Amino acid sequence: MSTDLQIGLVQQKWTGDAKSMVAASVAGIRDVVSKGAELVILQELHVGSYFCQTEDVSVFDQAETIPGPSTEAFGAIAKELKIVLVISLFERRAPGLHHNTAVVLDTDGSIAGKYRKMHIPDDPGFYEKFYFTPGDLGFTPIDTSLGRLGVLVCWDQWYPEAARLMALAGAELLIYPTAIGWDPADDSEEQARQRDAWVTIQRAHAVANGIPVVAVNRVGLEEDPAGGKGIQFWGTSFVVGPQGEILGRTGHTDEENLVVAISRKRTDSVRRIWPYFRDRRIDAYGDLQKRWRD
């Protein structure tokens, strides 16, 4: 096994219909694999639009089972190209029970594992609690032929506890399929603050845990079906190393495919210099299980 791992990021715009969106995802996968990618990561809910701008019961018709049509189709692509592939789906678990779920497909096309989004936002334009039940699989890394992957989803990226628990379970890198953007009414200064905060918190997860972090975000304006301003997804997909160093990053306006190499050995050398896991005071952290310390 090579000491480097080639990671492919596919940053997409909503095409307007699911069929062409899937075709665009497949084209992006093939493009990064042609450039050497072994592990390919797609953005959050990449088979369709970001439908959570409104609350609409008809949207539940878009949900699918796992295994199901997408895992079969993308599993065939993973097998053909001999890659590990991270996809993101609207999972129909049972009538009235749905999740925002990332699925990892191994090089033989099989489902290596899945992760159900644990932190579910509910904000203007991001009404995810209407659609998604919080995950119940915990913060458990997924073992693949390329290593142990700590897969999380979007809103999870703001929580250091989630990153830490994945790292404590042996995740070799953290992966965040994402759909985050600006309210177009925000001024440029506020937009810059929001995006900088998003990059900073994830770089901090890399530093605090001594492992690489990969975030793959949507890009482009998606209109609000109810007639609002919509969401301007800010792209800026990136890979950072275990000291938070930026190894590669896309732009914030256009579709873009990117391949970035990470070192499989660097985590060990960084953790020898910065031994946070050695010095953690696990005897003193019990209050982290409380909602608030009164």
For CA atoms 208, 137, 71, 89, give the dihedral sign.
Answer: negative
- Residues 120 and 157: beta-carbon distance below 8 Å: no
Q: Which of 91, 117, 172, 222 is catalytic?
A: 117
Residue 10 to residue 44: CA distance in whole angstroms:
11
- Residues 127 and 52: beta-carbon distance below 8 Å: yes
Q: Does 117 qualify as catalytic in the annotation?
A: yes
Amino acid, res. 183:
D
Amino acid, res. 74:
F
Residue 40 to residue 180: CA distance in whole angstroms:
20
Beta bridge partner(s), residue 89:
101
Q: Which of 38, 44, 91, 172 is catalytic?
A: 44
List the alpha helices (DSSP H) in the chain. 18-34, 69-81, 160-168, 188-209, 266-273, 276-279
Q: Does 44 qualify as catalytic in the annotation?
A: yes
Residue 6 to residue 268: CA distance in whole angstroms:
18
Q: How many residues does the chain have?
A: 294
Phi, psi dihedral angles at 89 (to 5 degrees):
-130, 155
Q: Which of 38, 114, 154, 256 is catalytic?
A: 154
- Residues annotated as catalytic are 44, 117, 154
